[in-house]
Amino acid sequence: MIPVKGYAVQSARSPLAPFHFERRDPGPHDVQFDILYCGVCHSDIHQARDEWHGSIFPMVPGHEIVGRVTKTGNKVKRFSPGALAAVGCMVDSCRTCENCKEGLEQYCLNGNVLTYNSYERMSRIPTYGGYSKLIVVDEDFVLRISDRFSLEAVAPLLCAGITTYSPLRHWKVGKGDKIGILGLGGLGHMAVKIAASFGAEVTILSRSQKKEADAKRLGAHNFILTTNSDRIKTMKGYFNFILDTVSAEHDYNMYLRLLKTNGVHICVGAPPNPSEIAAFNLIEGRKSLAGSLIGGIRETQEMLDHCSEHNIVSDVEVINISYINKAYERMLKGDVRYRFVIDMASLK
């Protein structure tokens, strides 16, 4: 086993603090790499605070991981020491069910293995995430990244990027479509950039007036303040799609009214508590309320290649790991432009 330093929460009420644990020695199919940067996703907060229930403690969060390979097993074909490597939200799946065979490992019918807050398939050892110095992952779940961009700005693509790319691709959002991106945080700002690269007309729907100045720079065509109810009313029937990235409870009914006939409201934000939806808001105008979970490994690689081709990276605020508890508090206030990324060199 390999001794590893990280940051963990010991319970739903404790802060993140230094933690020592072990990872497996790389097997024949494994890639071992030093973690250089790890993005901070709102899902880290939901899970560290057990807001979705069933969290496994102690927990080392982090699933937007980039670094440099140090060791590879003798059956590994696509990576060698010195190469850049990345890992997102999953590290394994059954690989035999119909969803896995289609490259939809995120919907594995036998349960995939998440990068943290999960158990390894055979050993049932808990998995630990990217707020740590190194990681060992099966080659099939390791992604290739370009060296054309600063690594810290690439890290958030591994969750925020794929979680927004996958539904935009699935619903074929592109030229001629009007899409509203609800919530301008980590996922929201990636959604704006990616939807704009697909040729859609993009409107940011945000409750934070101070983020308006960034809208055009991020690639949006319009900015609407969601707390301005008169302005919201003028948008009735405007959008083909709304991609909802909001992390806390909110009123879906208000946004369903903004969709055109046949419009789709896609939930990627995962508030811990359920909300009421009036059936009439779906019935009138044959509207759909849908959801989407991250993306498969093949599609994650496709997204990374698309972003590299179109010069799309994340807008990041790089932090030392000792700042992580403060970063969580700021995210809860919507105060992030637009993704915190931990410089893992700060973990001594």
Name the residues that contact ligand NAP, by CB under 6 A: 41-43, 46, 159, 163, 183-188, 206-208, 211, 245-248, 250, 268-270, 292-294, 331, 334, 336
Q: Which is nearer to ligand NAP, 6 or 185 (CB)?
A: 185
Using CB distances below 5 to 8 A depending on partner kind, what does residue 209 bind out of Zn ion, ligand NAP, none? Answer: none
Q: Which is nearer to ligand NAP, 2 or 270 (CB)?
A: 270
- Using CB under 5 A, count the residues that bind Zn ion: 9
Cβ partners under 8 Å of residue 179, min gap 6: 168, 173, 195, 200, 201, 202, 203, 239, 240, 241, 242, 243
Query: Which H/E stretch holds residue 8?
Result: strand 2-8
In whole angstroms, the minimum distance from the beta carbon of 171 to ligand NAP comes to: 14
Query: Which two tokens mark 79?
Result: 């990576």
Using CB distances below 5 to 8 A depending on partner kind, what does residue 32 bind out of Zn ion, ligand NAP, none? Answer: none
Binding mask 147-176 for Zn ion (x = CB under 5 A): ------------x-----------------
Cβ partners under 8 Å of residue 323, min gap 6: none
Using CB distances below 5 to 8 A depending on partner kind, what does residue 308 bind out of ligand NAP, Zn ion, none? Answer: none
Q: Where are the alpha helices (DSSP H) in the chain?
A: 42-48, 98-101, 151-154, 160-170, 186-197, 212-218, 229-233, 252-256, 280-283, 297-309, 324-332
Q: Write the Ramachandran bin of 212: left for phi over 0, alpha for psi from -120 to 50, otherwise beta.
A: alpha
Q: Which residue is nearest to Zn ion (CB)?
A: 41
Find the binding residues for Zn ion in span 85-104 (CB under 5 A). 93-94, 97, 100
In whole angstroms, the minimum distance from the beta carbon of 204 to ligand NAP comes to: 7
Using CB distances below 5 to 8 A depending on partner kind, what does residue 246 bind out of ligand NAP, Zn ion, none? Answer: ligand NAP
In whole angstroms, the minimum distance from the beta carbon of 170 to ligand NAP comes to: 12
Q: Residue 143: name the closest of 340, 302, 27, 306 by CA.
A: 302
In whole angstroms, the minimum distance from the beta carbon of 264 to ligand NAP comes to: 15
Residue 161 to residue 145: CA distance in whole angstroms: 13
Buried b or exposed e, range 151-187, using 16+ CB within 10 angstroms: bbbbbbbbbbbbbbbbbbbebebeeebbbbbbbbbbb
Q: What is the DSSP letter of 26?
A: P
Find the binding residues for Zn ion in span 108-127 (CB under 5 A). 108, 110
In whole angstroms, the minimum distance from the beta carbon of 283 to ligand NAP comes to: 25
Give the count of beta carbons closer than 10 Å to the beta carbon of residue 77. 8
Find the binding residues for Zn ion in span 1-60 (CB under 5 A). 41, 43
Which residues here bind Zn ion, judged by CB under 5 A? 41, 43, 93-94, 97, 100, 108, 110, 159
